[in-house]
Structure 1
């Protein structure tokens, strides 16, 4: 192992350093998060935002974007948006904040880890073929994964950054967040006050119906994206195999 590290090319070494820095940063965020009651901190933040009036919109969007980058769960913020801003405006502000945060995380993943991933798959034609195939269908895949709650939002932002999915397709694919965003903001609006978040929103029959709709849509999206990516990967592998036979 030591010999491999010593013999690394400068470019490869820099890639490994970037990945190590990213991993350490993520670990530090998780450790810090565990030392605080994040839910209480976010509820206090929402109370502060509510007291800011019109300025609260900009602050809310900024905090939501920062939360996405720092792996902070955005569910409380999303529910709180329904209380503070209502369903329509709350959904819009959550979508803007989530899209900005997701894009920033994507760029961090792209510029910190993409070169490392490229080096790892450079010698593996099969993985490289799958990566390229997925990039061609990037918009559809991003939309489908955004519809599915199975794929962790914060982690997915960084994960797409190390694929060949274009920034344009990635940003456009964020429209897949809209149905889930509206539904969760609506659930939050049923609470009536920030103090009731996580309580009445869980027991209300209307909220439970909406949650079941979210689960069903998410399940369908999960099945579709799994089958779709599997088909793309199989096709890419077949094309690679045919090319190898032709060259052989």
Structure 2
């Protein structure tokens, strides 16, 4: 489907529809913003980021969540935000805030992708297009869960790809929420342990990373139909 596809049923129409024009303009804007962010914006180091967020006092929770959600919209890795959450707020509060921030950013990116349209977003994804089309086209909860829980998989292409490829919103939202928990807790725990090493935090960190590995294997097997039980929160699990 060309980027300037017409939504009109009139075969005599010679020009692109206004929807296609708006999507093209949106595509150009998003590409320019992404390129600028990728080459010009870098998050400060951990100590500087911590100092900036702490300077907001009682508002630091909201500021942290807002910054996390904004970062999740871009190609900038969210890892540093999760580590900062652990340093600033400890494992429990830091994990909760990181999960909220990452999910809000994911939902916002999903909504942007739905507005821009499939071909526009897939063009934006570049070299990741083929992988996401293979994994997410006509897919649902299991595919999003697997991609979200896998270590090293960036958030932003999954968010935009799911919106562009028509993954149902409810399945995307639930899968993103559940799958983000072990990954966020594992990263937040690393930050908390670095700030104040303790046996309890160390155990939580090991357990969280073990959960990430276990869920990655489980998600892969469930998606391929070889797991003995469906993923938690998936439609198949609710049917049991």
What is the TM-score of this pair, normalised by structure 1?
0.66
Match 1:25 to one of 30, 34, 37: 30
Q: Deviations over 1:59-91 (max 9, x none)?
A: 111111011112221111110111111110000
The alignment status of 1:103 with 2:107, answered yes or no, reads: yes
Taking a change above 3 Å as real, the CA distance of residues 44 and 26 of structure 1, as seen in their structure-2 partners, is farther
The answer on whether the counterparts of 2:182 and 2:211 sit within 8 Å (CA) in structure 1 is no
Cα drift, residue 162 of structure 1? 1.4
- CA distance in 2 between counterparts of 1:179 and 1:48 reads 27
The answer on whether the counterparts of 1:15 and 1:116 sit within 8 Å (CA) in structure 2 is no
Match 2:190 to one of 187, 190, 204: 187
- Structure with the bigger percentage of helix: 1
Structure with max Cα Rg:
1
Which residues of 2 match residues 203-218 of structure 1 at below 5 A? Answer: 210=205, 214=209, 218=212
What is the TM-score of this pair, normalised by structure 2?
0.68
The answer on whether the counterparts of 1:82 and 1:90 sit within 8 Å (CA) in structure 2 is yes
- CA distance in 2 between counterparts of 1:148 and 1:62 reads 24
- CA distance in 1 between counterparts of 2:47 and 2:26 reads 31
- CA distance in 1 between counterparts of 2:141 and 2:5 reads 34
Cα drift, residue 156 of structure 1? 0.8
Higher relative contact order (CA 8 A, sep 6+): 1
**Structure 2 regions of 5+ residues with no counterpart?**
9-15, 123-132, 227-240
CA RMSD of aligned residues (A): 3.8
Match 2:98 to one of 71, 76, 94: 94
- CA distance in 2 between counterparts of 1:56 and 1:62 reads 10
